[in-house]
Structure 1
Amino acid sequence: MPHHEMHFLQRSGWLRAAVLGANDGIISTASLLMGVAAAGTDSHTLLITGVAGLTAGALSMATGEYVSVSSQTDIEQADLAREARELKDNPDSELRELTGIYIQRGLSPQLAGQVAQALSQHDSLAAHARDELGLNEANRANPLQAALASALAFASGASLPLITAWLAPHAQVQAWLIGSTLPFLALLGAIAARTGGANLLHGASRVVLWGALALVITALIGRWFGVNV
């Protein structure tokens, strides 16, 4: 019978890209706005800086994810092509190799041979891809999915501090950014942990810690240089 049970691992591809994008969008944009605000810029310049950061960041995230995951896909395809050649040229050797893998996992030699024979007759390349190379549909790379998820997540995350800077009184924009960004990060960390089946407190606290550090450092740098952009 077909297997329909959902596992957290099946979410790993898009979840990693989405969480990374949203987290980067919130932290980088909020930090950028904090640094520019600390340098003494006016409201108009601050908002233009935020919009530019959102646009550039979303495109950069999409490009980076696409290139990175495409490289992973190329490696996977190269390994599959090599395995297919080996199965064609040395099927007996590959069958013994698969049998050895199952023996190492705890099956008796006789049962391991039967399992390897049955799986090879069904789809030998799929059996070697899964059990020798560690590739399966749950963790296969998808460049376009990762790129779109990263871009949308970054834009969504970056829009939160940008809206905060737009609504906040200019004299209090830094306080508003800190007061809104850290709860945003905590919520993101908790959602990511919940979606991935991890501990909610750990997921939220580690994001908040690094986000707070980024905000403080960029604010200090902006105040130190005091350069109007």
Structure 2
Amino acid sequence: MKPRHVERHRIGRIGWLRAAVLGANDGIVSTASLIMGVAAGHADAGSILLAGAAGLVAGAMSMAAGEYVSVSSQADTERAELERERRELATDPLNEQAELTAIYVERGLEHALAARVATQLMAHDALGAHARDELGLTDTASPRPVQAALASALTFAIGASLPLLVAWLSPPTVRLWSVSVSALACLSLLGGLAAAAGGAPVGRATARVTFWGALAMGLTAAVGALVGTAI
């Protein structure tokens, strides 16, 4: 008997990978931008480090809360849709079977074959068939609020600690340049690693995350310099 061919796909990584990349990227960009904005306003070293540390804690908690609420809302919507499908299958199974048949016809099957496929799938797992083929819900992409919240908070804190550490170790005369260069280097590395993990083009992802990070830091530093001069 031939061994079963097993393909390994990266689609199962989308949920945690998105939350992790978003958290680390936001941690680097927001904290580096905050430090550069305060430093450009001629604040002393203590104020700069205090602002960076406060930004790290506040940002990590904000990311965790935002991810948890967002993913929980998605999970609530999916549960409501599944419950609706369960009621419709109980009260009108023939119409639900016809609906599933029409979906398979639209995907390219002949009507007779589509009807047989719908009949067999509904006999095996009616709710699962409708969840997958009508609603587009799968176990792979199912929302996990706690996992997303923890991943976002942890990766934000890790990302934010990098520019904060550089700001702490850098002499005042080169602090702005040290933070900006190190942050952009970390963003480039993060974009490349995330793209490689997801099987996406590395160059495009790296350029995208670096460009937007540089823009955010540049604008924040400019605002900090203007406000610092005004006050």
Normalised by the size of structure 1, how large is the TM-score? 0.96
Deviations 1:16-61 (A, max 9, x none): 1111111000000000000000111111111111111000000000
How far, CA to CA, are the matches of 2:193 and 2:79 in structure 1? 33
Alignment correspondent of 1:160: 162
Do 1:8 and 1:197's aligned partners in 2 also have CA atoms closer than 8 Å? Answer: yes
Shift of residue 125, structure 1, vs aligned partner: 0.2
Between the two proteins, the alignment pairs up a number of residues equal to 229
Matches within 5 A, 1:61-140: 61-140=63-142
CA RMSD of superposed structures (Å): 1.7
Alignment correspondent of 1:200: 202
2:174 counterpart of 1:172: yes
Q: 5+ unaligned residues in a row in structure 2: which ranges?
A: none
How far, CA to CA, are the matches of 1:42 and 1:177 in structure 2? 15
Deviations 1:127-171 (A, max 9, x none): 000000000011111111110110011001101101100110122
Do 1:40 and 1:228's aligned partners in 2 also have CA atoms closer than 8 Å? Answer: no
Matches within 5 A, 1:135-146: 135-146=137-148
Shift of residue 204, structure 1, vs aligned partner: 0.3
Which of 39, 44, 47 is the matching residue for 1:45?
A: 47
Normalised by the size of structure 2, how large is the TM-score? 0.95
Alignment correspondent of 1:20: 22
Alignment correspondent of 2:32: 30
1:216/1:152 CA distance change after superposition, 3 Å: same
- Identity of paired residues, percent? 56
